[in-house]
Structure 1
Amino acid sequence: MPKFSLHDKVCVLLSWAVMVMHGAAEQDYFPQLNNVTWHEARNHCQACFKELVTLTPDNIHTVVQNLTSESWIGLRKNFSTSSMSWTRWANGDPLTFQNWYPGWPVLKSSFPACLATTPYMSSTTTPYMNSTTTPYMSSTTTPYMNSTTTPYMSSTTTPYMNSTTTPYMNSTAANTTAAPVTITPPSLQAECVRSSMLLPTTDDKYIEDSCVAVLRFGAWVERNCLDLLPFVCYEDRFTGQVNKSNVTSSSASLAWQPGPGNISHYRLEVNGDKNVTCDNLTYHLDLDSLTPGTRYEVKVFAVKCERDLNPQVVSFYTKPGQVKNLKDTMVTDTSITLSWNKPDGNVDFYLIEFNNRLINSSTTNTTVVDLTPGNLYTFTVTSRVADNSLWSEESRTNVYTRPGKVSNLMVSDNTNMSLVLSWAPPVGNTSGFWVKAMNDNNHDLFQRKMSKTELNVTVTNLPEGTRITLSVTALANGFLEGDNETIVSYTAPGPISNLSLSTTSSSLNATWVPHAGSHSNFTIELQLDGKTTRTTLTTTPNVTFGDLKTAANYTVIVCSVSGQFKSPPVQSSIFTLPTPPSNAVANSSNKNSIVFNWKAPANIATAKYNVTLSSTFWGQRWSDTVVNQLSYTFDGLTSGTKYYFEVRTVAGQQESDPATVTHYTVAEKTEISLSALCSSAEPLLCATDATKDVVLQQLKARFTELLGDNVVWDLKKQESENKAKAI
């Protein structure tokens, strides 16, 4: 161990950690297991990484947690050109943090020692140096803390060694195995003075130009720079950027930033499974590697000393292919269904554009709705990628919607040979109208093409007394037909005969015989209680009215119509069939009366009901008829009796099926005792429980036969106090 020698003045540095928080670039740390000198370690770090590691309060835990042995770090005593030692790290950062193992660093002892005028010793503290040791500071030496200088360790700073820390040197030697000595910082200011004494030369650990190694638990020690140790390199995490250009359906050009240091080449991963090696900063992905409309993620790794740096990443889509065979497959007045063939490659969705509207579709067909009838539409379809950043060339088609149906089609001015047909134009656009008239045999009687401004026409040369079907069809683009609107009219009206009516509970059917020798329209008027509820027009000699009220008296009036002429009316009346009420229930009862309720049939007009109450046991029966009433009270009943209630809907002479319910009046109970005498030739046979139960069951069967459930009764066995005797 080297010994100290004192010349002139020397001040001993008491080292502690100065915790300084500072920001830095994100770093990665790489422990290297091969044993080399400090210089070799630094050369390797500079060649394959950035530099030997610089330790800070922020990264020391991360660095040492993966260490298994003592390792070089980027610190040495005389690294910089400064006259002071331990000032800079290998990467040039200032030394703002220290984490020395106790006893390190070892200072050179060839300088005069500094002795404080007030010793580092209290009544409870072992002095820093004993009586056999030359003190670190003489009476003429100025200490590290004077009256005008902020002390190296203030009252708010935790020193690197406290009262429980092993001091740098004990009374006999400065080594790391010395017994702990409690040091109390001086409370008074000290002054360095020149000493006439020399310290013994005991600092055999002193190294003139030492390098620093970190122990696997984080503390620092000095080592000879030529010692062979593992080491830790660091490198700022590389965060370059890849730029794409000239992206097509099958190719793209890439350019990226150079990696730091000695980069041997670059390696490209395309979607994680394709590797390409490149020596340049650009690469062109061509037809062999890319598919149209596909998302690609390219990672560019700078390779340094056969190690991949943090990748530069870019994501992009190739341009999707153009759709083919775009056409319309179904056209209505307000919608057009388009279809097309999927292009080669991938497509995330399709965009349909027309009239400043956009529609997305995930399939190769779509129906466009809410269109204007008879209008010309130009549709463009492009295939797109998911983020809508690229799209294909446009595919285009022109389609007319079908025109709408005309409205308010009317016939007027009927004669025996002609009539006037008029209508209103449809919603949307039209280029004209097509008018037709046919008889019942579908023979054309009249045809004419009308301009879009002509909204009526006189239909001539019609046969007398004939049913005529007239139709008007709107046109678009001169030939595209919409749905036609039809109407039926007659010439020469004739009176009807044999009006016959039949009904169900909710419908009425009327039939008649037209006037002989002619066919005509018929107007049918339906009346209820003298008021017209419906009027309809038909071309056949029959009509059915649905959704009628049940049990209602309807009157049907029929007239033949031709133009402005009507035949004398023929009428007949009939009731719709009644439907039964529902949910008949006994709402309340007592000993002499029962109140019954029910629900009216659905859709009934004037509700008329027949109510009946009967008792089969007493032979009683009551009956009454009520109108628009949903409850009835029967009085004068017998207590404890089962009554049968029926309610029927009445329509004219017809009644519906009944709604029924049974209910008992409240029983007024009376107890009747029955005695039975048992005789038997066998002794004690009458006294057995089995015999008694047989007798009781026979009695119950007899009472059930006589009374049933028509009245309230119960039979119970009551034991006599005296036992039956056998006779």
Structure 2
Amino acid sequence: MEVKPLAAFVFLAAVIAICPAEAERLYFPQINNMSWDEARTYCQVCFKELVSVTPDNSAVLVEILNNDSWIGMRKKLGGPMDWSRWSDNTSLVFQNWYPRSPDPNNTEDTCVKLLSFGAWLEDNCNSLLPSICYEDRFYGMLNISNIRTTSVTLQWTAGPGNISYYRVTYLSNSSDVTALTYDIHDLVPGTQYQFNVYPVKCGRDLNSENASAYTQPEMVTQLSVTDISTTWAFLVWTKPEGNSSDYRVTVSSDSFAQNLVFKNCSANISTLQPGTNYTFTVTALVEDRSIEGVNTSVSNTTYPAAVTNFSVSHFNSTSIELNWAKPEGIINGYNILVTEYNSSTFLKSIRLSESSTNTSITDLNPGLSYFFNITTFSGNLVSLSKNITKATISGPVTFHDHHHPNFLSAFPAESQGSVMMIRADQVSLSP
């Protein structure tokens, strides 16, 4: 029968959605001539099934069609009646038959071909024709685990149907594997990689499963505290092998923790407390903070602070009392050194507990100047010193009063300018 493209008998629905909400449907015209059964088997092996025509895809199929082609409709496919079910087991809800087709008088099992202009026409199932296969776009999931400095493990979703193998690619590397997992080695630490896994079916790449990840940065090396004071510390370290975007420095003590981020391989850590032991931990980071390197730590103690308001509160001929204010931070106690000022003779060393804020220096000689040096200590660390010089009051001095020959005048050690007068003939003086 001669088939003419009669527009009056062809209904093509407007395409609003090419694919169902749950999947994106793809269509693959096959140019090889096969029987309907051969075409269906090929579609099932290499795709999903012979195409089913719907109002949503009819216009699309006409656009890609160059020849009359088999579709997934056959008279007897197990439906409740002839021509009621598609080969993918979906019910017939749309028809676009060529005039006087199908032939109601034909009792043979016949198949349907889609004419190049969109109409349906039954034909002998053994006729050799091109065909149209379909497949839902594959959306798998690629998972990256066991991320280390130079290796990762990939795991992915199995592709649909008979997958020949999976092609795993990253950078310019490509490997064909049949399993659903693959270990990749010899990567660069701290580097972002894009991984793609293509299920290969009948020599055709399906939609790839994709994921990206950073490898773990290496740990920094040669971390050290090169300088430290009462309130700051300066750290340096060596850049790790591979890549890293910046570094997190964690500063911690028994009662304090703080995270800081630095771009370069050094850090000046300020606002520390005097006399406190700190642990400085440096970690290499990647740009998106998805993974971090192994920690490297070093500990050190800030110097204790010096006392403030060091002064003399009271003194006499044999003692001097010292006062001071306790400094900020942690100290274990105080060291006071006493030296005779004029001769630089060291006299004594006094160690006091951290709760002390004053002390009396006794057994001094009248009328001498003394040099006092005070430092705080925390463990083996000693603060800067504070110094003060003070003289004791002179002792009694006697002499003859030339205006009163029979009297001696005496200045008591703690007098405020008053004078005692005694008769010389009433006092026995030692030679």
* Alpha-carbon separation, structure 2, partners of 1:225 and 1:61: 25
Q: Unaligned regions of 5+ residues in structure 1, if any?
A: 3-13, 112-206, 493-564, 566-727
Q: What are the residue-to-residue correspondences of 1:374-385 with 2, within 5 Å?
A: 374-385=275-286
Q: Which residue of 1 aligns with 2:376?
A: 474
- Cα–Cα, structure 1 residues 233 and 435, in superposed 2: closer, same or farther, change >3 Å? same
Q: 2:182 aligns with which of 254, 260, 283?
A: 283
Q: Which residue of 1 aligns with 2:327?
A: 426
Quote the offset at 1:213 in angstroms.
1.0
Q: 1:108 aligns with which of 93, 101, 104?
A: 104
* Alpha-carbon separation, structure 1, partners of 2:284 and 2:132: 53
- Cα–Cα, structure 1 residues 24 and 328, in superposed 2: closer, same or farther, change >3 Å? closer
Q: Which residue of 1 aligns with 2:200?
A: 303
Q: 2:28 aligns with which of 16, 30, 55?
A: 30
Q: Which residue of 1 aligns with 2:53?
A: 55
Q: Which residue of 2 aligns with 1:456?
A: 358
* Alpha-carbon separation, structure 2, partners of 1:99 and 1:360: 71
SS in 2 for 1:41: helix
Q: Deviations over 1:440-482 (max 9, x none)?
A: 999686773523344334568699697x8755332221x3133
Q: 1:93 aligns with which of 90, 94, 102?
A: 90
SS in 2 for 1:44: helix
CA contact (8 A) 1:348 1:362 kept: no
CA contact (8 A) 2:79 2:85 kept: no
Quote the offset at 1:400 in angstroms.
1.0
* Alpha-carbon separation, structure 1, partners of 2:266 and 2:181: 41
Q: Deviations over 1:79-133 (max 9, x none)?
A: 40346332122211111123445x263433589xxxxxxxxxxxxxxxxxxxxxx
Q: 2:155 aligns with which of 232, 245, 255?
A: 255
Quote the offset at 1:64 in angstroms.
4.0
* Alpha-carbon separation, structure 1, partners of 2:276 and 2:262: 26
Quote the offset at 1:358 in angstroms.
4.2
* Alpha-carbon separation, structure 1, partners of 2:178 and 2:233: 55
Q: Deviations over 1:172-200 (max 9, x none)?
A: xxxxxxxxxxxxxxxxxxxxxxxxxxxxx
| TM-score (structure 2 length as normaliser) | 0.73
Q: Which residue of 2 aligns with 1:124?
A: none
1:212 aligns with 2:210: no
Q: 2:301 aligns with which of 400, 421, 443?
A: 400
SS in 2 for 1:413: strand
Q: Deviations over 1:198-230 (max 9, x none)?
A: xxxxxxxxx9714221535x4444455455544
SS in 2 for 1:42: helix
- Cα–Cα, structure 1 residues 402 and 98, in superposed 2: closer, same or farther, change >3 Å? farther
Quote the offset at 1:374 in angstroms.
0.8
CA contact (8 A) 2:32 2:130 kept: yes
More strand by share: 2
- Cα–Cα, structure 1 residues 484 and 52, in superposed 2: closer, same or farther, change >3 Å? farther
Q: 2:166 aligns with which of 251, 258, 266?
A: 266
SS in 2 for 1:46: helix
CA contact (8 A) 1:71 1:232 kept: no
- Cα–Cα, structure 1 residues 87 and 381, in superposed 2: closer, same or farther, change >3 Å? same
Quote the offset at 1:28 in angstroms.
2.3
Which letter does structure 2 place at the counterpart of 1:413? H
Q: What are the residue-to-residue correspondences of 1:581-620 with 2, within 5 Å?
A: none
Q: Which residue of 1 aligns with 2:221?
A: 324
* Alpha-carbon separation, structure 2, partners of 1:62 and 1:410: 98
- Cα–Cα, structure 1 residues 392 and 458, in superposed 2: closer, same or farther, change >3 Å? same
1:233 aligns with 2:137: no
1:365 aligns with 2:266: yes
Which letter does structure 1 place at the counterpart of 2:194? E
* Alpha-carbon separation, structure 2, partners of 1:314 and 1:441: 81
Q: Which residue of 2 aligns with 1:412?
A: 313
Q: 1:41 aligns with which of 14, 39, 42?
A: 39
CA contact (8 A) 1:266 1:279 kept: yes
* Alpha-carbon separation, structure 2, partners of 1:246 and 1:58: 45
* Alpha-carbon separation, structure 2, partners of 1:482 and 1:213: 96
Which letter does structure 1 place at the counterpart of 2:298? T
CA contact (8 A) 1:79 1:89 kept: no
- Cα–Cα, structure 1 residues 34 and 483, in superposed 2: closer, same or farther, change >3 Å? farther
* Alpha-carbon separation, structure 2, partners of 1:59 and 1:36: 23
Q: What are the residue-to-residue correspondences of 1:488-567 with 2, within 5 Å?
A: none
What percentage of residue pairs aligned between the two structures are identical? 34
CA contact (8 A) 1:17 1:97 kept: no
Quote the offset at 1:18 in angstroms.
9.8
Q: Deviations over 1:553-590 (max 9, x none)?
A: xxxxxxxxxxxx9xxxxxxxxxxxxxxxxxxxxxxxxx
SS in 1 for 2:94: coil
CA contact (8 A) 1:416 1:491 kept: yes
Which letter does structure 2 place at the counterpart of 1:359? N
CA contact (8 A) 2:49 2:72 kept: no
- Cα–Cα, structure 1 residues 79 and 435, in superposed 2: closer, same or farther, change >3 Å? farther
Quote the offset at 1:418 in angstroms.
6.5
Q: Deviations over 1:300-324 (max 9, x none)?
A: 1111111111122343443332222
Q: CA RMSD, aligned part only?
A: 4.1
- Cα–Cα, structure 1 residues 444 and 371, in superposed 2: closer, same or farther, change >3 Å? farther
Quote the offset at 1:233 in angstroms.
1.8
Q: Which residue of 2 aligns with 1:512?
A: none
- Cα–Cα, structure 1 residues 392 and 77, in superposed 2: closer, same or farther, change >3 Å? closer
Quote the offset at 1:423 in angstroms.
0.6
Q: Which residue of 2 aligns with 1:150?
A: none
SS in 2 for 1:105: coil
* Alpha-carbon separation, structure 1, partners of 2:384 and 2:70: 90
Quote the offset at 1:385 in angstroms.
4.1
- Cα–Cα, structure 1 residues 275 and 15, in superposed 2: closer, same or farther, change >3 Å? closer
CA contact (8 A) 1:446 1:459 kept: no
* Alpha-carbon separation, structure 1, partners of 2:377 and 2:120: 97
Structure number with higher relative contact order (C-alpha < 8 Å, ≥ 6 residues apart): 2
Q: Unaligned regions of 5+ residues in structure 2, if any?
A: 3-8, 394-415, 417-431
Q: Which residue of 1 aligns with 2:336?
A: 435
CA contact (8 A) 1:351 1:384 kept: yes
CA contact (8 A) 1:264 1:279 kept: yes
- Cα–Cα, structure 1 residues 409 and 77, in superposed 2: closer, same or farther, change >3 Å? same
